[in-house]
Structure 1
Amino acid sequence: MGVPDMDEPSFTDSELDNHVKNALRAAIQGDNGFYNQLVAVIHHKERLVAEEVALLVTCLKAVTGAVSCINIVHHGTLLAAIFGMSLWNYGTDVMDALVELLVSLASSNGEYVDLCLEMLVVNFMPPSAPPAASYFVELLKQPRGLAKKTQVLDRVHSTLKDIANVVPLSPLRLEKIVRDRMPNIYTKEAFIVMYVENMLRLEGGAMGELVGSTILVSLVDRLIELDVEIAWDEILQDDFHKGMFDMELEDFEGHADHIEPDSNELTREALIQRFFCGNLVAEKLDSLMVLTFEHIKSCSESGRLVQVFEILLQSFQKTILTAYKAKFTQFVMFYACSLDPENCGKMFANVLVNIFVSGLNPEWRMSAVAYLASYLARAKFVPISFVAAMLDSVVNWCFLYCKNVDGDINPKSHKVFYAGCQATMYVLCFRMRQMIAVPRLKSQLLLMRIEDILGHPLKPLQVCLPSIVEEFLRLVKVNRVFSLPQSFPDYGLLESEHSRAFGGMERFDMFFPFDPCLLRKCDRYIRPNYVYWSMVRSTYDEDDGEGTSDEDVAEAYGGENGMSIPDDGSGRSYDEDNSDADEFDYSLDKMSITPRDSRFESRIHRFVQMPSKIRPSTSPESL
């Protein structure tokens, strides 16, 4: 057989097809002349002129017709050249010829399926090795770059579907490849975002039923990895003079260069700059969570949110619930619940209360009740009747615990009990006024035996965080809900050795996970359905200890079935569509907690010495 000159082709397509088949057979016998030329054409990486593009397309089509002659052992260099190609480096003619070849390879021999799938998954992103990475990062900012992205990714996904049609088991093999090839947290933001976009496109596509659960779990795992990398300890400092509900933005004092030394408050702009300037991990997490929110929204619109939420809930229990320093990932659950409070919202709360009541791992039970309390306190969309039902389950468990346990105060031995008590008081700090505005729920609250629990020899008021106890007792006194003994208020005002043992610095049991979210882009998804402390404060800030009628509170809160938050005086509508920056600034405004009461002020300053090395999402506004 003569060897045609690949540089100056003068043969027809059919002749080239025959030459390729013969070359593949000859290579097995050791005759590599034309085979090496074929590999060189496909392996060529330099910029191609028109004639070279035409030759490459012709060769790819010829190899497609000769896949039955390819041997994975003898033709390794050819296969390496094919699987080393990137769709991002070629025009549409080469792309089409290449993906056609991949489908033929996958259908011809099971040995090639994983190689074809992996090559397509690699093309979820442009080449990420320098200097190509920088080139594509800039290209994707331009219209022609976005057009290229569409051309490549449309072909990637259509080819994955074509391979699934000819190899029905390929989606099961694809899910492992997608998980294994997922970029690490140090990958450039543009690339990791693009990869996740493609993951979610798979989950929402034809193969979603087969690969969707793995994709969602892998995504949550990556979010958590980013989340725990954010080092709040570098931003915050100890402050031994503020209680949980007194944590204001001045707790960030001294962390921005342009703040005056005598300033008691860190401006919103300084906090944003401090947190986001150069914090690439936070920015990546923010972008990925927005992608996740948008995907959840699309699932809701297509009627499959409950199905997706069940997967997220399983992942939550395995990953987020057990993550010690999760700060933001949990808002994926919050947002999903806000889109379907009746199904997803109630499912989430029921799972949490069941873990607390029936779980075996004490730390997970404490985390679950903290999540439950934070969710019930912060979710504007949760009906107050459901809040009361969930709270009743927690209080009932605490009451039965008191009946079955003898002995005195012991934070270590009874930490799950104290976590339940602390969660109960925390929820009531946010929701008490709303509950007592509804006669039926007020009666239910009075029947919860909270007085018996707080008066038990285990003395939860001396163990739970003083700032929560202080605010709870203040509201009890203002609203005259319980007939607490006169000695009760003294229990919470002193940070005893017991409260330090249970709370203390960096303790898991200080964790209330749905504290205000400080991610810029995420804020607009959370804010419309989120209860800030200043919103609650506005309903009793002017009471001056005299209380408010049930009718007044009912009108302020919108009755039993929802939470209609009154205007805070800023003139801003909470459903108003504003820019991301404005919305984020507004969120920071709402981090201000707990009103000051002159009758308690002196005692607070004398007694409360609470350690507060607190992260914004694990602040004493949290458990």
Structure 2
Amino acid sequence: MGVELATERPGFYEMADIDVSDSELVYHVRDALKSVSQGDSDRYNQLIAVMHYTGRLAPDEVAMLVTSLKALSGSISYIDIIHHESLLSSIFGMSMWNYGPDVMDALVELIISLAASNGKFVDSCLDMLVRNFMPPKSYLDLLGHPRGLARKHEVLDRVHSALSHIADLVPLAPMRLTPIILQRMPHMFDKEALIVIYVESMLLLESSALGELVGSTMLMALVDRLIDLDVEISWDDIIHEDSGKGIFDMELEDVDDIIDHAEIDGFEHPRGTAGSQILGTNAVADKLDSLMVLICEHLKSCADGERLTKVFETLLQSFWVTVLNAYKSKFSQFVMFYACSLDPEHCGERFAVFLADIFVCRTHPALTRMSAVAYLASYLSRGKFLPLSLIASTLKRLVDWCLEYCHVQNGEEKTINLEAHRVFYSGCQAIMYVLCFRMRSMMDSHRLKSQLLHMPLEPIFCHQLDPLKVCLPSIVEEFLRQAKAAHLFTVSETFLFNNLLESDLSKAFGGMERLDMFFPFDPCLLKKCDRFIRPSFVYWSMVKTTYDDGEDCSSEEDINEYFDGNGKSYMESGITRSLDEHDLDLDEFEYQLNKMSITPRNSLKNGLIFKLENPFRMPARIRPSTSPESL
């Protein structure tokens, strides 16, 4: 193929109005490259000028650029990293998004040839391709149009094909590619479209042949970015205080608040509920939401391709390193929840065992163990996909550990040191929380009912460490209410409801100084990724309790057992007692718990509004969401 060279632009070759063959142009380019070292840079500068063609190119300009790029591919051995620095800089600075298919193909061919010819060019070639993951910022608005989407596919298909070719030709290329990708990741405050398109390429790499070498790093880096975004979302942006609702009541939505419903994937999705009302205008949350959608879609494709098990191990490692102890993580953890829902038999059980192992292992730091059991309790309670047998067996592990702890602590401890026993209390609270959600289902199974009735719950909850006086009052109340209806305890109900909850310790710790643990899988507020989570999620309104059949505390006699003469629950009325009556290091205990708790505290230093009229109530962190029909 020949090309006619013209002089319509300054800087064109000084061979006007003549036809030259491809081989002749190769020789001309080689002469231009060699002339630099001889002090003659005119033809070299003209070659550089061709590399700067952008915008709407005329057909002859496109032909010149394509032919020049191909000629350079045939002259690789003449390119010197020092003498031709300006030319290389121009080539590596080209954006494929500015050109048509012919120019893109010629440019990719040149980049591959450069990378394969000399190890000194590899990093620059990889960096150039990675930068082409993203379009020029002026191009972002076009991505929402068919023409823009077509160009996106044209560019990224070539970029990833080039990366694959270079990896085949240069075995060390994948190792050098990874730090470049991590370094080039957009900042979390960049435009959402840039972040999303870059993450799409990272996930494409994970699922490609290169994924064997770089896939785990890509996933772990993405989880890190989720956490970066997550912690930027303030609870001030989320919490809508309602001091009249407890930890379970806060999920029961007033139907009148529902603005609109849309049928998505076969179930009702309330657009007017918590996520859209609270986080709809939060830019950081929108970015996090979009990235979680991408990762969930990727995990679904992994499951369809029967490679989720391997990917899950990377996610589990990333969870251990990044998420588990993240300060006030709010939504990132739902990536794990969704992955488990895709493969309950393997991933679902693996996650439960993993968390339980951390909790029972005494070598882990206390806060790590407390966080693990909080995750475990929330996971076992919320995972609709989890078999009851797994929930029961995991619950037994927690009960056995707490019972053993009680046996060790059978001493003459006159004053309870909350901080010293905080892991124990977190385990007790986890047991109660899970049973609040699952007790009825277990009681409805003959086999599991027998297991539950034989669990040594009474020795734990009636132990001198008094977990019922320390754990979250709203959880204790619901647990005891269900335990009473299920006849779970042999001690008198009066002892449980009056003597325990009315004690001085209950009055001191039943409210403000409670074990303020968090439950990471409380309903997710992000709008777009909700469609992945909702079908596998247990909302409180779906739960049938043991007192649903009339065996509850709704009678006048039962209500009197629950409340004092002033109409307040014993836990609520007890918090007004002075904490000075007890020689306990409460400030330090509160500080340690706050380090890992996402539940707002009664403290001005947290900048949260929390009315003290009912301080035993959990703040309504969410507007309650509509749930599917009760089980």
Do Structure 1 and Structure 2 share a fold, with TM-score over 0.5?
A: yes
**Aligned pair 1:374/2:378, yes or no?**
yes
Q: Does structure 1 conserve the Cα–Cα contact (< 8 Å) formed by 2:507 and 2:573?
A: no
Q: Deviations over 1:518-541 (max 9, x none)?
A: 111211111111111111147743
Q: Does structure 2 conserve the Cα–Cα contact (< 8 Å) formed by 1:20 and 1:63?
A: yes
- Counterpart of 1:412 in 2: which secondary structure? coil
Distance in 1 between residues matched to 2:272 and 2:513, nearest whole Å: 35
Question: Structure 1: 5+ residue runs without aligned partners?
Answer: 257-266, 548-595
| Cα distance, 1:315–1:47 mapped onto 2, change above 3 Å | same
Distance in 2 between residues matched to 1:217 and 1:9, nearest whole Å: 56
Q: Which residue of 2 aligns with 1:199?
A: 202
Q: Which residue of 1 aligns with 2:149?
A: 146
Distance in 2 between residues matched to 1:598 and 1:5, nearest whole Å: 102
Give the % identical residues: 55
Moved over 6 A (4+): 596-599
**Aligned pair 1:392/2:405, yes or no?**
no
Distance in 2 between residues matched to 1:162 and 1:47, nearest whole Å: 30
Distance in 2 between residues matched to 1:169 and 1:616, nearest whole Å: 50
Residue 87 of structure 1: how far off its partner (Å): 0.5
**Aligned pair 1:463/2:488, yes or no?**
no
Distance in 2 between residues matched to 1:6 and 1:278, nearest whole Å: 59
Q: Which residue of 1 aligns with 2:458?
A: 451
Q: Does structure 1 conserve the Cα–Cα contact (< 8 Å) formed by 2:482 and 2:547?
A: no
Distance in 1 between residues matched to 2:502 and 2:92, nearest whole Å: 69
Distance in 1 between residues matched to 2:297 and 2:36, nearest whole Å: 52
Distance in 1 between residues matched to 2:307 and 2:468, nearest whole Å: 45
- Counterpart of 2:450 in 1: which secondary structure? helix
Q: Does structure 1 conserve the Cα–Cα contact (< 8 Å) formed by 2:237 and 2:278?
A: no
Q: 2:37 aligns with which of 24, 28, 31?
A: 28
Q: CA RMSD of the aligned region, Å?
A: 2.8
Q: Deviations over 1:75-123 (max 9, x none)?
A: 1110110000000000011000000000100001001111111111111
Moved more, 186-195 or 609-618: 609-618
Letter in 2 for 1:177: I
**Aligned pair 1:512/2:519, yes or no?**
yes
Q: Does structure 2 conserve the Cα–Cα contact (< 8 Å) formed by 1:478 and 1:545?
A: yes
**Aligned pair 1:292/2:295, yes or no?**
yes
Q: Deviations over 1:240-279 (max 9, x none)?
A: 554322325789x99x9xxxxxxxxxx9737555423431
Moved more, 100-109 or 535-544: 535-544
Letter in 2 for 1:48: L
Residue 175 of structure 1: how far off its partner (Å): 1.6
Q: Does structure 1 conserve the Cα–Cα contact (< 8 Å) formed by 2:273 and 2:623?
A: no
Distance in 2 between residues matched to 1:493 and 1:144, nearest whole Å: 70
- Counterpart of 1:11 in 2: which secondary structure? strand
The 5-angstrom pairing of residues 45-444 of structure 1 reads 45-128=54-137, 132=138, 136-236=139-239, 238-247=241-250, 269=272, 271-358=274-361, 359-405=363-409, 406=411, 407=413, 408-444=415-451
Residue 28 of structure 1: how far off its partner (Å): 2.1
- Counterpart of 1:482 in 2: which secondary structure? coil
| Cα distance, 1:421–1:478 mapped onto 2, change above 3 Å | same
Q: Which residue of 1 aligns with 2:497?
A: 489
| Cα distance, 1:216–1:411 mapped onto 2, change above 3 Å | same
Residue 183 of structure 1: how far off its partner (Å): 1.1
Q: Does structure 1 conserve the Cα–Cα contact (< 8 Å) formed by 2:207 and 2:215?
A: yes
| Cα distance, 1:299–1:73 mapped onto 2, change above 3 Å | same
Residue 510 of structure 1: how far off its partner (Å): 2.1
Distance in 1 between residues matched to 2:294 and 2:354, nearest whole Å: 26
Residue 498 of structure 1: how far off its partner (Å): 2.9
Q: Does structure 2 conserve the Cα–Cα contact (< 8 Å) formed by 1:240 and 1:610?
A: no
Matched residue count: 547
- Counterpart of 1:380 in 2: which secondary structure? coil
TM-score between the two structures when normalised by the length of structure 1: 0.82
Distance in 2 between residues matched to 1:89 and 1:206, nearest whole Å: 28
Residue 616 of structure 1: how far off its partner (Å): 4.1
Letter in 2 for 1:227: D
| Cα distance, 1:618–1:532 mapped onto 2, change above 3 Å | closer
Letter in 2 for 1:65: G
Residue 69 of structure 1: how far off its partner (Å): 1.0
Moved more, 109-118 or 487-496: 487-496
Residue 503 of structure 1: how far off its partner (Å): 3.5
Letter in 2 for 1:414: H
| Cα distance, 1:390–1:55 mapped onto 2, change above 3 Å | same
TM-score between the two structures when normalised by the length of structure 2: 0.81
Distance in 2 between residues matched to 1:429 and 1:492, nearest whole Å: 18
Q: Deviations over 1:175-221 (max 9, x none)?
A: 22112111121121222111111111111111111111000101111
**Aligned pair 1:498/2:504, yes or no?**
no
Q: Deviations over 1:148-190 (max 9, x none)?
A: 1111111111111111111122112112211211112112122
Moved more, 207-216 or 494-503: 494-503
Q: Does structure 1 conserve the Cα–Cα contact (< 8 Å) formed by 2:174 and 2:210?
A: yes
| Cα distance, 1:8–1:80 mapped onto 2, change above 3 Å | farther
Question: Structure 2: 5+ residue runs without aligned partners?
Answer: 1-11, 260-269, 575-613, 626-631
Letter in 1 for 2:386: V
Distance in 1 between residues matched to 2:327 and 2:619, nearest whole Å: 15
Q: Does structure 1 conserve the Cα–Cα contact (< 8 Å) formed by 2:13 and 2:43?
A: yes
| Cα distance, 1:221–1:333 mapped onto 2, change above 3 Å | same
Moved more, 345-354 or 16-25: 16-25
Residue 68 of structure 1: how far off its partner (Å): 0.8
Q: Deviations over 1:529-575 (max 9, x none)?
A: 1111111147743525299xxxxxxxxxxxxxxxxxxxxxxxxxxxx
Distance in 1 between residues matched to 2:17 and 2:235, nearest whole Å: 64
Q: Does structure 2 conserve the Cα–Cα contact (< 8 Å) formed by 1:203 and 1:212?
A: yes
Distance in 2 between residues matched to 1:341 and 1:81, nearest whole Å: 52
Q: Does structure 1 conserve the Cα–Cα contact (< 8 Å) formed by 2:237 and 2:279?
A: no
Q: Which residue of 2 aligns with 1:582?
A: none
Q: 1:15 aligns with which of 24, 45, 56?
A: 24
Q: Deviations over 1:127-150 (max 9, x none)?
A: 13xxx1xxx222111111111111
Letter in 2 for 1:236: I
Q: Which residue of 1 aligns with 2:615?
A: 609
| Cα distance, 1:60–1:451 mapped onto 2, change above 3 Å | same
- Counterpart of 1:247 in 2: which secondary structure? helix
Distance in 2 between residues matched to 1:519 and 1:537, nearest whole Å: 26
